[in-house]
Structure formats: structure tokens, C-alpha cells
Amino acid sequence: MVMVRLGVPAQYVASAGRFVADVRAGYGLAGSADDDGREHAVSRVPRDDGDWITGPSNQDSEELSREVFDRISTEPAS
């Protein structure tokens, strides 16, 4: 999963929207309008999964990851 968040000045919002639409179409990604409303389980990618590139992470990253997964599993979606 790759997630990108960018601040776009007002005059570029339309072209940024077209860029996002092109990326979605080019890679077959679902948009919020394509979401079927079901919640999907969140899990960590196994290090030995051949479909993903993974690497070791430092302790701070591991702690943050645990905290995020704990919050996802215990707090209701908004």
C-alpha cells in the first residue's frame, strides 16, 4: 500500500483531481465511490510475502505500527 497526501494550492485542485483519476484508472484502484461499504480486515504484510518488498524497521516504527493497529482494532470507524 502506498499512501500519499499532498497539499495542493487552490489553482491546481482540478489538475490534481485529474492526476488522481488517471492514477486510479491506470492501476485499477478503487475510489471512494467504488467502495462497497464493507470494512476490510487490516493486517501486516508478512516479511516473506513475495508480492511485497519489505525490510526491517526500527523500534520507533514498530511501536507506532502496534499503536496504529491497536487503534484500528479497538476504535469504531468514523
At 31-65, the pLDDT tens digits run: 655 556 666 666 777 778 888 787 788 888 889 88
Q: What is the residue range of 20's domain?
A: 10-33+40-74
Q: How many domains does the chain have?
A: 1
Residue 18: C-alpha distances to residues 8, 15, 77 (Å):
13, 5, 28
Asked whether residue 26 is domain-assigned, the answer is yes
Global pTM? Answer: 0.38
pLDDT level of residue 5 (50, 70, 90 thresholds): confident
Q: What percent of the chain has pLDDT over 70?
A: 74
Asked whether residue 70 is domain-assigned, the answer is yes
Bin 69: left if φ > 0, else alpha if -120 < ψ < 50, else beta.
alpha
pLDDT at 71: 85
pLDDT at 56: 80
